[in-house]
């Protein structure tokens, strides 16, 4: 919710996702309800305090309702992930069960595409999200080169650093 250059951090992140032109964009909310733009669906996760896994499962349930083949996941505290990165992850071959963005040769945490086949394997509790699958099943992972930045804004110090750029 913190202000970054005149807007909340999450709005910068969402703007890039929306610009990627996906058929559906779903925002999972938690501690704070958000007013999202037209065409974006907000889903409240009442268990948000239990960790990232519960929000990921809320997104997967919504994707199941839509009969989606995959979900592409990102975080609201990463305002510099570009539209091009979202598209690169989305456009990776369907043979990849998990697609991870790679920045300057290093895997970034987001965005990540999770094919339907891996959904039952996702952690059900805690802040793990899909990270454990990347380690347990590296053969499922495809990396795609992306432009942008994986910088996340977790602290007041992070926010102040990026406000000055």
The three-state (H, E, C) secondary structure of the chain, written as one string: CCEECCEEHHHHHHHHHHHCCCCCEEEEECCCCCCCCCCEEEEECCCHHHCHHHHHHHHHHHHHHCCCCEEEECCCCCCCECHHHHHHHHCCCCCCCEEEEEECCEEEEEEEEEEHHHHHHCCCCCCCCCHHHHHHCHHHEEEEEECECCCCCCCHHHHHHHHCC
C-beta separation of 157 from 115 below 8 A: no
pLDDT digits 0-9 by tens, 115-128: 999 999 998 887 77
Query: CA-to-CA distance for 59 and 164, rounded, in angstroms?
Result: 34
Residue 164 has pLDDT above 70, yes or no: no
Question: In the prediction, which pLDDT does 165 show?
Answer: 60
User: What average pLDDT score do residues 137-153 get?
Assistant: 88
Q: How many CB atoms lie within 10 A of CB 160?
A: 11
Question: CATH homologous superfamily for 3-163?
Answer: Spore Coat Polysaccharide Biosynthesis Protein SpsA; Chain A (3.90.550.10)
| Cα 121 to Cα 31, 50, 63, 133, 157, distances in angstroms | 26, 18, 15, 8, 36
Q: Do you find a cis peptide bond into 35, omega within 30 degrees of 0? A: no
Residue 162 has pLDDT above 80, yes or no: no
User: What average pLDDT score do residues 132-161 get?
Assistant: 84
Residue 51 has pLDDT above 80, yes or no: yes
Is the C-alpha dihedral spanning 118, 116, 36, 49 positive or negative?
negative
User: What average pLDDT score do residues 135-163 get?
Assistant: 83
Residue 163 has pLDDT above 80, yes or no: no
pLDDT digits 0-9 by tens, 75-98: 999 988 999 999 999 999 999 999
Q: How many CB atoms lie within 10 A of CB 49?
A: 9
């Amino acid at each position: 919710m913190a202000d970054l250059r005149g807007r909340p951090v999450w709005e910068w992140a969402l703007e890039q996702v929306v610009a990627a032109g996906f058929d559906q964009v779903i925002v999972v909310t938690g501690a704070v309800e958000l007013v999202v733009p037209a065409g974006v669906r907000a889903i409240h996760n009442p268990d948000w305090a239990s960790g990232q896994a519960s929000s990921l499962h809320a997104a997967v349930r919504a994707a199941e309702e839509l009969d989606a083949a995959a979900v592409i996941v990102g975080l609201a505290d990463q305002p510099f992930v570009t539209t091009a990165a979202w598209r690169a992850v989305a456009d990776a071959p369907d043979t990849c069960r998990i697609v991870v963005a790679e920045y300057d040769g290093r895997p970034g945490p987001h965005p990540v595409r999770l094919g339907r086949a891996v959904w039952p394997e996702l952690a059900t509790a805690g802040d793990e999200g899909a990270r454990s699958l990347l380690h347990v099943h590296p053969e499922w992972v495809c990396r795609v080169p992306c432009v942008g930045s994986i910088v996340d804004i977790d602290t007041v110090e992070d926010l102040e650093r990026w406000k000055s750029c």
